[in-house]
Amino acid sequence: MSPREEVYTRHGGKGGDRGKILAEMMNAEGKPEVLDDILVLDVSSANFAGIVAASFFAEFGAEVIKIEPPEGDPARLITPFGVTVQGVGVPFMFEGRNKRYMTLDVKNNPEDRKVFARLSKKAAVVIESFAPGEMDGWGIGYRQLVAENPGLIYIALSAYGQYTDKARESAKMPDTDITSQAGSGLPAQMGAPPNEPEPYTWPLRGGMWAGWYISGLSAALGGAVALLHRQNTGQGQMVDVAGMDSYSSMVGMPATIGFTWEKARPRIGVLDFILYPYGHWKCKDGYVAIAAPRDHDFRALLKVLGLWEQEDDWRYSSDRIPDILEQAIHLHKIIEEKTLQFTADELVKMALNYSKKSARSKWRGGGVPIVMKLMTPEEAMENKQWHIRKAFQEVEDKKLGKYTISSNFVKMSESPPRVKWVGSEIGGDNEYIRKKYLND
Amino acid sequence: MEDYFSYTAKLFNPDEADRKPEALKGIRVLDFSHVIFGPIAARLLADYGAEVIKLELPFYGDLWRPATYWGKYWKHSNPIWHNITKNKYFLSVNLKLKESKELIYRMVKDADVVIENFAPGTADAWDIGYEKISKINSSIIFLSCSTYGQFGPMRYFPGWDLLAQGASGVLTLNGYPDTDIFYKLPDYVGDFMPGNFAALSVLMALYHRKKTGKGQYIDMAQTEGLMRTLFHYTYYSVTQKAIGRTGNVDPTMVPAAIFKTADDKFLALACATSEQFENFTRAIGRPELSSDPRFSDTLERLKPENAKALHAIAVDWIRSQSCADVIRLADDKNIPAAEVADDYMIANEEWRRKRGSVVLFKDDVYGNLVIAGPSAMLSGTPSRTKWLARPLGYHNRFVLKKFLGLSEAEIEKLEKKKVIGTFDDRPGLKPPVYYDLSKDPIYNYGKEVGK
């Protein structure tokens, strides 16, 4: 059965059109591209927040020109363990989506700045990550460009933002992922509890670019709001994203808890500060994630694991999310003793069987404990779910050959994002751009 | 020409933000969603001026209402929920009853966006799914949020941020190599990040609708949102090796890690470019390192054995300095560095308040609360906070009278039938104990209230 047929046959429901609607969402090809009338100039330097924001616009159909000096954006060499394909780093390959590449050295060459200014008259969006005020000093900052193009949306990325005394004092400090993570509060919440040995008790870096991707996403979101305003009024504006805000502004918890509790939360390892059980456990052949946070889910989990005798323990009957660490760890260990006796598949099956029965139960008292086999990114790539949903895509660069990216991050019935091509050749589109935008 | 920072200070002046136009003014959103993933998408739209009506079950409400950190409430409310659901109208109707559906169908006629995050298929089973709603309003933008998506063999699996982190592979990346020590990303960021993706998709759909008049259906799977942020898949496809866990070291730059200082504080320091690396070698008084053949070339420097040697030099130097000294030097020499900020620092640092990325908000019902500001500052149509979360059913009268033109008698009838309702005595649902709701003109909208 093809994936398309599977969707048809299994989602028919009440004889309605839902199955058909969903089947038509499986492919993006041939559908309109929402930003097909938008030109974006990405002149960011050594900053993946800028590159990522530009990618999102490109995936929604904008013409995105990556502008870099002849030797290339230093971001090309920001890559795990120095791995490149013909000199292009992996993250740069990953983000090289639907983009054009032009060489202009706005940092050192006044003539190139003039070309940039001419291009920006035709642009809807400019993205940059130089030190705050630097572009302005070169005569191609927001206030100069917007005078010529009132509809321009100018997205600036930096460590501390474009205004305030702090921004002025620290204007020259570049923005990177790990400093953005640290400065905006992510590592402070991750790490072993205080009773364990160093360095595991240290604040821990998120093992992905949480800082840069959150900044990039925030920049694209702010830019999209600005695009709607521009569509309605013709007016552009400046969008200012600070790496030192990224995580804390997105999740909101640090600011409010720091105020109401008047102190910082400790690091609590694999425990959670609101939900329990809500984390991962070791099992016979790997790890499982278990989420059974509601009272009836928790009780169901106790039954599934054969731990029902714990149910009337005063410690867990009404308060199993204590800020008393010993108590929380105690329960964690009790559950671990059980999970270690089973394989991941066995645990998943046990929970599923229970949930099926409880979902069918007239009394609905059973709860739904969720158990899932933990996957590495490499294992996730094998999952049939993502094949059917086309979450991964094999792409081919003219020079770099074939590789795999994650794409199609949202399915939309009318104007979905998509990756049409990948590319990364420095100056590869100089001719195309000059002809299309700089002939007059 | 005027100094850049005085120009931007005026351009972004937080005191003037409330008087600037709102980009999403006139957009009406019906928010059926609960917990974090759906509600945060709706809140982002509300922050930019959309009118968001949040629907909750009477006397029960959103599952996240009582879910506060270690059970610590603030004025009988969940302090962190304010940030997740501010700026919304709180309507409490029982979605499963026929009369409630009639109300919803009437509201849908004037709505632009509907957001839900029930288990896939549930909204359709209740006749409030895209199929039904798009028949009433053909230009509706309907966003369905789920962990694994609306189609595919895993669609019915229930999910939380944890499961999305587990299914995408994010969860296994945060920890130390060759150990069992790893953690999920904190603070349900596996809900917040995909929630931002979802809001971005809705904005794109609104843009498309303005151009073509067409609404659309959006299927946002939070796992796919997280997967979009991992280049680990590409690394694997190119090298047939996994990046895996690298502890506190970022393997894409060197030095780049979290370090301990002489005064036992923690800071992150990174050199993303050759220029920053040279600045670093001069700052630590070892300029010869930038011409060392192991380190002079960026890609050579990143090779595991060389990176390890350089990291060790950085560890030793930072361990001999105070945190403040390193940051000061980094500021001077253009090297990225930041002290590891915790809750207390983020809530209290002056520059964040001045910037507006942390806000002391004065609310009519709850008084002063510190909340996070937006993660992107817009000079023309800034995000803003108008009010915090409200008790369950707080806007029942306001929404039904103002938006649907119902009379007081009709509303009382609906109350009697339990089609609409409010809160019970549980914290998270009810108003603060000192607050007299009978005198609140919004709660009693359209009725005489004692002054």
Using a CB-CB distance cutoff of 8 angstroms, which residues of chain B are in contact with residue A237? 378-381
A373: closest CA of chain B, how far (Å): 8
Residues listed for chain B:
451
Is A124 found in the same domain as A35? yes
* Same domain flag for A321 and A235: no
CATH of domain B4-228+376-439: 3.40.50.10540
Domain of residue A228 covers 31-253+388-437
Among A345, A374, A403, the domain boundary falls at A374
Hey, what are A253's tokens?
């918890």
CA distances from B311 to A354, B244, B314 (A): 50, 18, 5
| Listed residues A374, A398, A418: the one ending a domain | A374
CA distance A203 to chain B (A): 8
Mean pLDDT of chain B: 96
Residue A311 pLDDT level (bands cut at 50, 70, 90): confident
Within-domain flag for A1: no
How many percent of chain A have pLDDT more than 70? Answer: 94
Over residues B41-100, the pLDDT tens digits come to 999 999 999 999 999 999 999 999 999 999 899 999 999 999 999 999 999 999 889 999
Q: How far is B12 from chain A (nearest CA, A)?
A: 7
Radius of gyration of chain A, Cα coordinates, nearest whole angstrom: 26
Asked whether the beta carbons of B267 and B259 are under 8 A apart, the reply is yes
Please check whether residues A112 and A152 belong to one and the same domain: yes
Cβ-nearest to A74 among B72, B74, B273: B273
- Say which CATH number the domain at A352 has: 3.30.1540.10
Contact criterion met (CB < 8 Å) for B235 and A80:
yes
Highest mean pLDDT among A116-125, A293-302, B153-162: A116-125
| Whether the Cβ atoms of residue A219 and residue A213 lie closer than 8 Å to each other | no
Q: Which of A124-133, A221-230, A343-352, A362-371 has the lowest mean pLDDT?
A: A362-371
pLDDT of B346 > 90? The answer is: yes
Of B44, B193, B212, the CB nearest to A214: B193
A321 and A413 inside one domain: no
* Same domain, yes or no: A180 and A49: yes
Q: What is the pLDDT of residues B102-128, one digit of tens each?
A: 999 999 999 999 999 999 988 998 899
Report in angstroms the alpha-carbon separations of A88 from A93, A351, A400, A423, B235.
7, 45, 8, 10, 12
Residue A312 structure tokens = 């009337």
Check whether residue A318 and residue A179 sit in a common domain. Answer: no
In a domain, A154, yes or no: yes
Query: Is the CB of B370 less than 8 angstroms away from the CB of A202?
Result: no
Identity of the residue in B153, B184, B227 whose CB atom sits nearest the CB atom of A279 = B184
Q: How far apart are CA A289 and CA A277, in angstroms?
A: 10
Q: What's the whole-model pTM score?
A: 0.97
Q: What is the mean pLDDT of residues B308-325?
A: 98
Scanning the structure block, which residue is given the tokens 């640290």? A182
Per-residue model confidence (pLDDT) at position A365:
63
Same domain, A224 and A95: yes
Residue A220 burial by Cβ neighbours in a 10 Å radius (0-12, 13-18, 19+)? buried
With a CB cutoff of 8 Å and minimum separation 6, the contacts of A377 are B168, B169, B170, B172, B173, B230, B232, B233, B236, B242, B243
B window 88-107, beta carbon within 8 A of A: none
Residue A264 is assigned to a structural domain of this protein? no
Check residue A321 and give its pLDDT.
Answer: 79
Do residues A186 and A244 share a domain? yes
Let me know if residue A11 belongs to a domain.
no
CA count, 13 A, side-chain hemisphere, B427 = 15
ipTM of the complex in this document: 0.98
Between CA A14 and CA A347 the distance in angstroms is: 33
**Cα–Cα distance, A173 to B270 (Å, whole number):** 11
In a domain, A17, yes or no: no
List the beta bridge partners of residue A405.
Answer: A393
Interface test with chain A among B200, B267, B361, by most A beta carbons within 10 Å: B200
Place of tokens 């780049």: B256
- Whether the per-residue pLDDT at B450 is higher than 80: the answer is no
Chain B residues whose CB is inside 8 A of the A163 CB are 5, 8-9, 11-12, 355
Asked if the Cβ–Cβ distance from A202 to B266 is below 8 Å, we say: yes
CB B55 within 8 A of CB B26: no
Count of positions (residues) in chain A:
440
| Residue A39's pLDDT band (cuts 50, 70, 90) | very high
In this structure, the number of other CB atoms found within 10 A of the CB of residue B329 comes to 17
Q: What is the pLDDT of residue A313?
A: 83
Q: Could you give the number of structural domains in chain A?
A: 2
Domain assignment of residue A262, yes or no: no
Please tell me which of the candidates B233, B304, B337 has its beta carbon nearest to residue A392: B233
Do residues A247 and A155 share a domain? yes
Kindly state the average pLDDT of the residues A199-219. 98
**In this structure, are A356 and A398 located in the same domain?**
no
**Where does the pLDDT of residue A8 fall: very low under 50, low under 70, confident under 90, or very high at 90 and above?**
very low
A103 and A182 fall within a common domain:
yes
- Chain A closest-CA separation from residue B401 CA (Å): 29
* A22 belongs to a structural domain: no
The domain that holds A83 is classified in CATH as 3.40.50.10540
Does residue B272 sit at the A interface (CB-CB below 8 Å)? yes
Per-residue pLDDT, averaged over A94-103, amounts to 98
Q: What is the pLDDT of residue A362?
A: 60
The number of helices, as runs of H, and strands, as runs of E, in chain A is 19, 14
What residue spans define the domains of chain B? 4-228+376-439, 256-260+266-339
B13 has a pLDDT exceeding 50: yes
Looking at the structure, do residues A410 and A369 belong to the same domain, yes or no?
no
Region B256-260+266-339: CATH code: 3.30.1540.10
